[in-house]
Amino acid sequence: MTEPRRRPGPKRALTEEAVLDAALTLLDTDGPGAASIRRIAAVLGVSPNSVYTYLPDKSAIEQALVERLLGDLNRAAPGGDDWRTDLEALALDLRRRLTAHPGAVPLLLGGAMNGPEALLLGERLLDLLARAGLSAAEAARGAYLIMVYVLGAIALEVADVPRAGALAPEEDRIAARRAAMSQVPAAMFPRTAAAVDVTATWIGTDQYLWGLHRVLDGLPTHA
């Protein structure tokens, strides 16, 4: 006796947001490079051609992810009266969002940040520095300096844990770094051994803010 033929279930609705959710999940679990069209399609249970309907290639997916991450950052932007407080809050928020998705960090470093949200972020930086009293030229140089520092610090923090997935809590990562650096032979590297308690915290919030404050301290003096 033949079994009755089953009717196909309803097709899963597919949207660009669903594609980007799947891509971000792959980056979070398997690291940079994991968000291929085929793997995204497999996560969504659709054919690769269905993904191509929304985003034509991996490069487009990566740029769209950058735009979404920066869009979330822009929508949460502070609107205070003090340029420095607002800029510090922006830098901390960007670090928080990127360390929550470490697999996405290389996307901001390896591609052109020229989408609408990236441009809006740049505009906000220029506006904050104009409020600090910098000329247009100095504000442009300062905005670049800040982004180099912020993205570089975040990239080094993420690279300190060379495996895919979400980062462990900051205090746990600092403790692990301190334990590893404590093995440095003091006889051969005396200054390094003596600085372990500080260098272990290089990946922490205090060091991030320490460096940011030094950058900001110097900017208005050139206005």
Complete domains list, the chain, with CATH = 81-218 (1.10.357.10)
Model pLDDT for residues 14-26, shown as the tens digit of each residue? 899 999 999 999 9
CB 205 within 8 A of CB 170: yes
**15 dihedral zone (left: phi>0; alpha: psi -120 to 50; beta):** beta
Model pLDDT for residues 108-127, shown as the tens digit of each residue? 998 778 899 999 999 999 99
Q: Is 192 helix (H, G, I), strand (E, B) or coil?
A: helix
83-100 helix and 205-218 helix, angle to the nearest 10 degrees: 140
| Type of residue numbered 108 | L
Residue 8, pLDDT > 50, answer no
pLDDT at 220: 73
Model pLDDT for residues 39-94, shown as the tens digit of each residue? 999 999 999 999 999 999 989 999 999 999 999 999 987 778 899 999 999 999 99
Model pLDDT for residues 153-206, shown as the tens digit of each residue? 999 999 887 776 778 999 999 999 999 999 999 999 999 999 999 999 999 999
CB 132 within 8 A of CB 219: yes
Residue 6, pLDDT > 50, answer no
Structure tokens at 119: 């441009």
Burial class (CB in 10 A: 0-12, 13-18, 19+), 61: buried
User: What is the C-alpha to C-alpha distance for residues 38 and 76, in angstroms, rounded to an integer?
Assistant: 33
pLDDT at 167: 86
CB 35 within 8 A of CB 58: yes
- Nearest residue to 125 (alpha-carbon basis) of 222, 19, 219, 23: 219
Contacts 24+ apart (CB under 8 A), 211-215: 211/149, 211/153, 212/88, 212/91, 212/146, 212/149, 212/150, 213/88, 215/145, 215/146, 215/149
- pTM assigned to the model: 0.87
Give the confidence band of 9 by pLDDT, cuts at 50, 70, 90.
Answer: very low
10: which residues sit within 8 A by CB, 6+ positions away?
A: none
205-218 helix and 136-159 helix, angle to the nearest 10 degrees: 160
CB 46 within 8 A of CB 12: yes
Comparing 169 with 1, the larger pLDDT belongs to 169
Residue 30, pLDDT > 70, answer yes
Q: With residue 136 as reference, give the H or E element that holds it.
A: helix 136-159
pLDDT at 161: 79
